[in-house]
Amino acid sequence: MTHSSIRPAKISFVIPDSIAEEVGFEVGDSLIAINDFPLRDLIDYQFLCADEYLELDVIDNKGQTHRVEIKKNYDDDLGLEFENALFDGLIQCNNHCPFCFIDQQPPGKRDSLYLKDDDYRLSFLYGSYLTLTNLSKKEWERIERMRLSPLYVSVHSTEANIRIRLLKNPRAGQIIEQFKWFQERQLQIHAQVVVCPGINDSFHLEKTLTDLALFHQGDIPTIISAAVVPVGLTRFRPLEDELIPVTKTKAKEVIKQVRSLQEKFYHRFNSNFAWLADEWFLIGQEELPPESHYEDYPQSDNGVGSIRQFCQEFKTTAKRLLPAKVDKSVKLTWVVGNAVKKAFQPLVQELNKVDGLTINLEALQSHYWGQETTVTGLLTGEDLLTQLQGKDLGDGILLPSIMLKHNDICFLDDMTVKELAKQLNVKIFPVTGIEELIGICLHSSTSSTMSNR
């Protein structure tokens, strides 16, 4: 684990009418400590802010230090946002998984694209997956003391030798002992298993899911849910790797196997407990399960049921917001990954029922990564440029912001949205969520594009 020292927490936004605005905080000021405690990260900040009397040590834009005193209600938010959630640097990964997406990128890109995080703070704050192989005694104690739960853990296999082989790390074999540690403290985990054919599939997968289910007992189950995800390979992966891509036949086999385990789990827990990522059904060319299958969508951020959930939310929102007609005719192109082409057709039909509104769905494949079935979040600027050039894109592109990184400025291949808009000579509307998508369909002439925001 690399671990740099604490840096002042730089403020990126001061919420209007907040306590912070009232006491005069400005963007660019930095917070050093609260009540004399230095802040390691957003978790410390949130924890220390839960008090009625605060003394804040601050460095302003001009480098002057100040002590600011604030009296407030215990749970009042100060209204500050920071450039980064981690003020002492990222805890980096010490594994060497052959399927690591970071190693499957082309060389020569921005340095930050090659940073491998394996940081329990990001797991707690944002639900990113970690492996638990790089935690020091101090970090374990902090998880316990601050009750940082649930965490999202990449398990891959409960068999020590297989997990060590997959993570290429001798420290990876203690996963069962680690589950017991969580269990004793009533802390919880969402688990994931990335299935690599020939390594942790078939009876190994059955053993892993059965072992995980042993920790899904009682009022506070240690393992809340387990997602089963197919390994994702790109054309940039190292030649010497031992990985086999998931085929249609393999996907069908895994679907059948996990479905039969779900039946057993449902009988025991009244919950499916183990969840198949949507990608299995897309690769296996099978129907996605119905909405009722997904209970409360415990792993939708991990691609489990997210297509169903999106379609369902779209239906309700469209019913509420879509008018019979628009004042001024508009034609837009909605760009998505080809993985959701079939599922999104009814949504497009719904939008096109609005008189004067024409939406064309462009479901693209990623030639950049060399993937036949592509999820929307993996499309790059180059993919859009090569496949949309010369097409009639109407009055603009609806661009799901899930494709964008680094404050929504650029794609995974570093191309900026502005660059793409210029090359395609079209307006681009980045959209987050269904309300914004519908809002832009109805008011595109007054909505902000990437070139004018």
Closest CA to 399 of 328, 447, 357: 447
Q: Which is nearer to ligand SF4, 98 or 289 (CB)?
A: 98
Strands in 325-337's sheet, in edge-to-edge order, are 355-364, 325-337, 397-400, 428-431
Contact indicator for 27, 12 with CB cutoff of 8 Å:
yes
253 vs 259: CA distance, rounded Å: 10
CB of 231 to ligand SF4, least distance (A): 10
Q: Which is nearer to ligand SF4, 132 or 410 (CB)?
A: 132
In the numeric block, which tokens belong to residue 238? 């190292």
CB of 100 to ligand SF4, least distance (A): 3
CB of 102 to ligand SF4, least distance (A): 5
447 vs 242: CA distance, rounded Å: 48
Q: Which is nearer to ligand SF4, 100 or 321 (CB)?
A: 100
Cα distances from 96 to residues 37, 113, 163, in angstroms, run 36, 16, 11
Beta pairing partners, 11: 82
Beta strand pairing status for 410-411 and 404-405? antiparallel
Binding stretches for ligand SF4 (CB under 6 A): 93, 95-97, 100, 102, 116, 118, 131
Who's near 303: CB < 8 A, 6+ residues apart? Answer: 227, 229, 277, 278, 279, 375
Q: Which is nearer to ligand SF4, 80 or 229 (CB)?
A: 229
Q: Which is nearer to ligand SF4, 125 or 385 (CB)?
A: 125
336 vs 377: CA distance, rounded Å: 8
CB of 113 to ligand SF4, least distance (A): 12
CB of 413 to ligand SF4, least distance (A): 19
CB of 132 to ligand SF4, least distance (A): 10
Q: Which is nearer to ligand SF4, 131 or 374 (CB)?
A: 131
Q: Is 123 exposed, middle or buried (0-12, 13-18, 19+ CB in 10 A)?
A: buried
* Other C-beta atoms lying within 10 Å of the C-beta of residue 325: 10
Cα distances from 291 to residues 143, 354, 411, in angstroms, run 35, 26, 31
Report whether the peptide linkage leading into residue 106 is cis, meaning its omega lies within 30 degrees of zero: no
CB of 345 to ligand SF4, least distance (A): 34
Residue with tokens 């849910």: 225
Q: Which is nearer to ligand SF4, 95 or 225 (CB)?
A: 95
CB of 404 to ligand SF4, least distance (A): 21
CB of 115 to ligand SF4, least distance (A): 9
* Other C-beta atoms lying within 10 Å of the C-beta of residue 386: 12
Q: Which is nearer to ligand SF4, 116 or 367 (CB)?
A: 116
Q: Which is nearer to ligand SF4, 116 or 142 (CB)?
A: 116
